[in-house]
Amino acid sequence: MDGVALIVSQVLNGLQLGSIYALVALGYTMVYGIILLLNFAHGDIIMAGAYILWIVLAQLGLNPVVAMLLSVAGCTLLGVVIDKVAYAPLRNAPRLSVLITAIGVSYFLENGAQLIFGADAKVVPSFAPVSSIQVGGLSLSFVALITVLVTAISTVVLTFLVQKTKLGKAMRAVSEDMGAARLMGVNVNNTITFTFAVGSALAGIGAILYVMAYPQATPTMGMMLGTKAFVAAVLGGIGSIPGAVVGAMLVGFSEVFVSAIGLSVWRDAVVFLLLIIVLIVRPTGIFGRTMSEKV
């Protein structure tokens, strides 16, 4: 039974880690799918969500439900503000200019957080109701189970939003041809802002789940998390919702496997090695499709 428990525990760890990456990767892939922007500030929105949790729980002592709602709302608002202030004025600018701006926004958020909160890690009080639950003689992490469940629900809701709603149709129209969508009456700027809002809300949910597993907030916590989520999005085929989830699971399980065999020092390197291998075999990613540009 010990061997079975160990295998189940490692699988659950891989699902948990992959689920967190998936929520972040979905934000990357949505924004890229709409305006072909690699929003490198996306990981730092998770950092902002973690600090909101710390402020509400540790400093204000409010209810965890209030803290989670404020974290998601704060991340959503931050994503919209970033779009309106930094990206909207550059809608018609060269793609490189927007990319450099995204990197600048990321550094601005990280250094701003360090200036306000300091460079030391802030411990977020635990707000999970229980540590584990018993299923068939196995002790399973409650945080891991809720992380997988929330990610699955978020993915289903997002897929429904994109495929079945009027706003989702507008998002797909802007993604296919922004000019034609504008001629058909689609408000392109509002659609893009809505995309940022949804992606940032997912980042807020990711912040909650991440802090439940790793209860601390630091100014640079979003850097590696965002980078690995970006790798996951590219692995799966950036612009594809199922691809983001599959890529995130590959990244999560590769990290857990490497750690399980005693090579945890290599867990970051293996992620990028996996990216190199997949891109050599299939440059568009697992679910990606070749994009053709009109000239």
Q: What is the pTM of this model?
A: 0.88
Count of structural domains, the chain:
1
Q: Does any domain span residue 121? A: yes
- Is 112 a member of any domain? yes
* Residue pLDDT tens, the chain, 295 long: 466 777 878 888 888 889 999 988 988 888 887 877 788 888 899 999 999 999 999 999 888 999 999 999 999 999 999 999 998 888 888 888 888 999 999 999 999 999 999 989 999 988 877 677 777 667 778 888 899 999 999 999 998 988 888 888 888 888 888 888 888 888 888 888 898 999 999 999 999 999 988 889 999 998 888 888 888 888 888 878 888 899 999 999 988 888 888 877 888 888 888 888 888 888 888 877 665 544 4
For residue 35, being part of any structural domain is answered with: yes
Residue 257: inside a domain, yes or no? no
Is residue 275 a part of any domain in this protein? no
What range defines the domain where residue 59 resides?
23-222
How far apart are the C-alpha atoms of 47 and 62, rounded to whole Å?
Answer: 20
In a domain, 289, yes or no: no
Answer yes or no: is 186 within a domain.
yes
Report yes or no on 57 lying in a domain: yes
